[in-house]
Structure 1
Amino acid sequence: MALDLGSSRPRAWVPGRGLVLDTRPYGDYGDCGSDGGYGDVERPVRRGRIVDPESCGRMLGRIADAALGPDRSDSVIVLSHPVLAGAEHRNAARALLARLGTRHVVVLSSARAAAAFAGPREVGPLLVVDMGAELTEVTLLMNGLVADARQAEHGLVDLRGLAPATLPAVLVRTVLDMITSMWRQDRHGAIRGALRRGPVLAGGGALRPDVTDRLAHRLGVRVRLADDPSTTVVRGAGRILGSVLRHRSASPEHPGRAR
C-alpha cells in the first residue's frame, strides 16, 4: 500500500486496485475530529506532520484493515512525508507503520513521490511545487535526490478568507519567493535548468487554473500537471511501491509475493 497522510485527508493506493481511499477527511475518522479535517478540533496530522501518534495509529489500523486485510505479514507500505519533515516525524511514522504487522516500510519525501509520478525516468534538475491544504513546498531534485527545498507553513486552508481574486496572487507570491530564494543560492544553474524543463505542480492548489496560469505567466515557463494533482503524491508513491515489489520478487531472499 502507498500512503499519503496529507494535511486535509489520508490517501491510499493499492496495486491492482488503484486509489482506494480519497474521500474521507480526517474529521470522518472517529477520534480524529468532526469538521472535515479543518478547524480547531484535534486531528492526528497537522501541517503534514503527525501530532497525535495514538490517534494516528488507530486511523492507520483502520485504513490498513480496509486496504490490506487482517493478514499483513507479507505487505509493503510506502509512506510519503513533507520534504522538510525532521527525523522525529519520520521515525514516528515508521514506528506507527511497524505496528501494523507489515513486512517492510519505506518512508520517502512527497517531492520524490510526485517526481516519480510525473517522470520516473527523468534525469537532471527537476522542480516540484506542492501546494497543499496546510503546507506549500518547493523542492529541487537532482537525479531523484533532494538538492534544496523551501517550505511555507500555510496553504489553501489559511487563504480561505481571502477574496477570490486575491488567493491566487498570494499563493503564487509564496511560491515565487521560495523559488527566488533557491535561485540566489544556486551556483550551478540547476534552478534555471529545472525551470526550462517545466516545474511539476502537485496538491490542491494545482487544481486551480487561476493559480497555475498565473504561476506559469510569472515564471515565463510551461508548468506540468498530472490529470489529478491532488493525488499526484500518493500515485507517485504507488509507482515507487511497484518498483520495490518488483525488486523483492526478483530477489532470492524474498521469494514470496508482497502486496
Structure 2
Amino acid sequence: MSVVDGVDERVRRAGRPAAGSAPVASPTAVGLDLGSGYARMWASGRALAQTASINDSLTNPVRPVRRGRISDPAGLSEVLTRLLGQQHPAVPAGAVVVACRPVLATAEELSVTRKLLDAALAPSRVLFIDTVRAAAIGAGAGPGTLLVADVGAAVTEVAVLADGSVKAARRAAIGMSDLLGPVGTEPIVHTIAEFVRDLRRDPRCRGVSASAIANGLLMVGGGAGHLALAPRTAATLGLAVRVAGKPRIAAVHGAGLAALAALRRNPSAAA
C-alpha cells in the first residue's frame, strides 16, 4: 500500500505544527489537479496557482487534457511551466508531488503524467490519488463510507469511498462544457443518477454502496457550483446532496494535504 493509500485523519492535521515546535526548513509538498478546463497547483507555503488547461500557442490553441486524458504532452508541459511561474518563492527540486488521477485511469496514462512531472518539477517522489478521494479530503469529509460526485468541465465521476480508498466508481465523458442551449443541467443530473443506481445494483459493491448512498452525496468539482445542479440531483435521486465549501479547489487542496502527510511520514526520502 502506498503512502497516499494510507492517508486518513492525519492528512487534515498534517499542516498543523506541534505545540511549541519551531519552524524548520523542509522540502515542498505539492498537490496537482490537471483538469480538462483548468490546471491547479497547491504548494506548501505558497498561494494556490491556477491556469487554463490550454497550450501557449496563439495561432493554434489546443487543450492538452481532453476528457481527463492527456492528448498533448508538450502542451501540458507548457501548462505546468505557467503554474510553476506563479509560485513565489519558486518550487525547488526534490518536492513531494501528489497528482490527482481520474478514476479508471490506465497505467499508460499515469506513466505519461509521471514523466511530465519528473521533467517539470524534478521531484523526489510522485504519488497519485484518485480525484474523488482528494476532493473528499479537501472538503473535510469525515471517516466512513462516502458517495462522491465530481463534475468537471469534460468528465463526470461518481465513486464510493470507504476505508480511505475508492471501492467502486463510474466515469463518463460529459461535463459542464457540454451543456449548451436550453437543456440546463439535465444531462449531468441524468448521468449522476444512472451511476448511483448502477452502483446500488452492482453485486460486487452493493453493500458498501448502500451504506454510502444512505449518507447522501458529496458534490465537488467546478460543476458543483452551478446553482441548479445539486437541488435537481437531490430531487431526482431522493438523496441529500451536499456541495463542498469550495468545490472547484477541493481536489487540489486534498492532494496538497496528502502530499504534506506523505512528506511528514517519510521526510528523509525527500532530502
Q: Could you tell me how far 1:119 is from its partner in structure 2? A: 3.7
Q: Could you tell me how far 1:149 is from its partner in structure 2? A: 0.9
Distance 1:245 1:207, change over 3 A: same
Q: Does 1:16 align with 2:45?
A: yes
What SS class does the counterpart of residue 260 from structure 2 fall into? helix
RMSD: 2.2
* Residues 115, 144 of structure 1: 8 Å contact kept: no
- After TM superposition, the score normalised by the length of structure 2 is 0.81
Q: Does 1:221 align with 2:239?
A: yes
* Residues 94, 107 of structure 1: 8 Å contact kept: no
Gaps of 5+ in 1: 35-39
Q: Does 1:180 align with 2:197?
A: yes
Instruction: Choose which of 209, 214, 236 in structure 1 pairs with 2:227.
Output: 209
After superposition, residues 37-52 of structure 1 pair within 5 angstroms as 41-52=61-72
d(CA) in 1 for partners of 2:94 and 2:141? 26
d(CA) in 1 for partners of 2:115 and 2:47? 25
Runs (4+) of structure 1 exceeding 6 A deviation are none
Q: For residue 24 of structure 2, what is the aligned residue in structure 1?
A: none
Gaps of 5+ in 2: 1-29
Instruction: Choose which of 81, 100, 107 in structure 1 pairs with 2:101.
Output: 81
What SS class does the counterpart of residue 92 from structure 2 fall into? coil
Distance 1:120 1:203, change over 3 A: closer
Q: Which has the bigger relative contact order, CA under 8 A and spacing at least 6?
A: 2
- After TM superposition, the score normalised by the length of structure 1 is 0.84
d(CA) in 2 for partners of 1:68 and 1:58? 18
Q: For residue 195 of structure 1, what is the aligned residue in structure 2?
A: 213
Distance 1:71 1:122, change over 3 A: closer
Q: Does 1:118 align with 2:136?
A: no
d(CA) in 1 for partners of 2:111 and 2:211? 34
Instruction: Choose which of 159, 175, 188 in structure 2 pairs with 1:171.
Output: 188
Deviation per CA, 1:96-125: give whole Å up to 9, x if none.
Answer: 1111312111122101101212346413x2
Distance 1:67 1:6, change over 3 A: same
Distance 1:133 1:81, change over 3 A: same
Q: For residue 237 of structure 1, what is the aligned residue in structure 2?
A: 255
d(CA) in 1 for partners of 2:97 and 2:261? 12
